[in-house]
Chains A and B, each alone.
Chain A
Amino acid sequence: MTAQSAKATQPIWCPGCGDFGVLAAVKKAALNQKIATHDLVLVGGIGCSGSIHNFLEVNGIHALHGRLLAQAVGIKLANPGLTVVAAGGDGDGYAIGMGHFVHAFKKNASIVYLVMNNETYGLTKGQASPTSQIGFEGNVESPFDAILTALSIPAPNFIARAFSGDPKSMTAILEEALRFTRDGRGFAFVEDLSPCVTYNDTYKLWREKVIDVATLPGYDPSDRTSTFRLCLEQMRAGRIPIGVMHRPKESTQDGLEVKLLGTRPGPVRTDIRLETNRPQYEKLLASVA
Chain B
Amino acid sequence: MPVGPAPGAGAGAIELSDVSVMIGGQGGDGTLTVSDLLGRYFRKQGLYVYTSRNVLSRIRGGHADASVRASRDPIAAVKAHVDCLVAFDQEAIDLGRPELAPHGFVLYDSTAFRTEVPNSVGFPFATLVGGPLGQPIFKNTAAYGALSVVFGFDPGKTREVIEERFRRRGEAALEKNLKALEIGRQAASDTAGVAHRFSLLGGEAHDLVLTTGNQAVALGFVVGGGRFFAGYPITPATEIMEYLQRYLPPVDGVVRQAEDELAAINMVIGASYAGARAMTSTSGPGLSLMTEGIGHAGTAEVPVVVADCQRVGPSTGEPTRHEQSDLAHLVNLGHGEYPRFILAPSSPVDAFGITVEALNLADRWRLPVILLLDQALCQNTIASPRFDLGAVKIDRGQRISAEEAPKLEQYKAYQVTEDGPSPFAPPGTPGLWSQVTGNEHDEWGHVSVNRANRVRMMRKRMGKLAKAQPELPPGRLFGPATAKVGLVGYGSTSGPILEAQTALASGGVPTRYYQARTIFPVPVHELDPFLAAVDVAYVVEHNYTGQYGRLLRESLPWHHAKLRSILKFDGDSFRAPEIVERVREARP
**Residue ranges of A at the interface with B (Cβ–Cβ < 8 Å):** 1-7, 9, 36-39, 41, 43, 51, 53-54, 57-64, 66-67, 70-79, 81-82, 99-100, 103, 260-261, 264-268, 270, 272-274, 277-278, 280-282, 284-285, 288-289
Residues of B in contact (CB 8 Å), total 77
In angstroms, Cα B172 to Cα A164, docked, is 67
Asked if B465 lies at the interface with its beta carbon under 8 angstroms from chain A, I say: no
Q: Give every chain B residue within 8 A of A73 (Cβ-Cβ).
A: 256, 267, 270
Contact B267 A3 (CB under 8 A): no
> Can you spell out 12 A-B residue pairs with CB atoms less than 8 angstroms apart?
A3-B405, A5-B411, A5-B432, A6-B445, A62-B439, A71-B273, A74-B268, A79-B276, A99-B263, A273-B394, A285-B219, A288-B386
Decide: A77 near B433, CB < 8 A? Known: A62-B438, A71-B267, A267-B227: no
Q: Give every chain A residue within 8 A of B275 (Cβ-Cβ).
A: 78-79, 268
Q: Which of A7, A74, A266 contacts B270 (CB 8 A)?
A: A74
In angstroms, Cα B258 to Cα A119, docked, is 29
Q: Give every chain A residue within 8 A of B427 (Cβ-Cβ).
A: 38-39, 41, 59, 75, 79, 82
Q: Give every chain A residue within 8 A of B276 (Cβ-Cβ).
A: 78-79, 267-268
Contact A72 B270 (CB under 8 A): yes
Chain B contacts with A in 202-229, Cβ cutoff 8 A:
209-211, 215, 219, 222-223, 225, 227-228
Pairs A-B, 7 closest by C-beta atoms? A74-B270, A272-B225, A70-B266, A62-B437, A267-B227, A71-B270, A74-B267
Q: Which of A7, A61, A284 contacts B436 (CB 8 A)?
A: A61
Closest to A277 in B: B251
Contact A260 B254 (CB under 8 A): yes
Q: Which of B271, B389, B406, B445 contacts A282 (CB 8 A)?
A: B389
Q: Give every chain A residue within 8 A of B271 (Cβ-Cβ).
A: 74-75, 77-78, 267-268
Decide: A270 near B228, CB < 8 A? Known: A3-B405, A3-B409, A77-B256: no
Per-residue interface assignment for chain B, residues 383 to 425, with 1 indicating a CB less than 8 Å from any chain A CB and 0 otherwise: 0001111001110000000000111111111000000000000
Asked if B269 lies at the interface with its beta carbon under 8 angstroms from chain A, I say: yes
In angstroms, Cα B387 to Cα A253, docked, is 40
Asked if B435 lies at the interface with its beta carbon under 8 angstroms from chain A, I say: yes
In angstroms, Cα B444 to Cα A73, docked, is 24
In angstroms, Cα B411 to Cα A62, docked, is 18
What number of A-B contacts does a CB cutoff of 8 Å give?
229
Chain B contacts with A in 428-468, Cβ cutoff 8 A:
428-439, 444-447
Contact A75 B444 (CB under 8 A): no
Decide: A38 near B268, CB < 8 A? Known: A267-B253, A273-B394, A274-B394: no
Q: Which of B227, B300, B435 contacts A59 (CB 8 A)?
A: B435
Q: Which of B222, B228, B259 contacts A103 (CB 8 A)?
A: B259
CB distance from B462 to the nearest CB of A (A): 21
Q: Give every chain B residue within 8 A of A100 (Cβ-Cβ).
A: 259, 262-263
Contact A289 B210 (CB under 8 A): yes
Per-residue interface assignment for chain B, residues 267 to 303, with 1 indicating a CB less than 8 Å from any chain A CB and 0 otherwise: 1111111111110000000000000110010001000
Contact A62 B436 (CB under 8 A): yes
Contact B209 A289 (CB under 8 A): yes
In angstroms, Cα B394 to Cα A59, docked, is 26
In angstroms, Cα B296 to Cα A74, docked, is 15
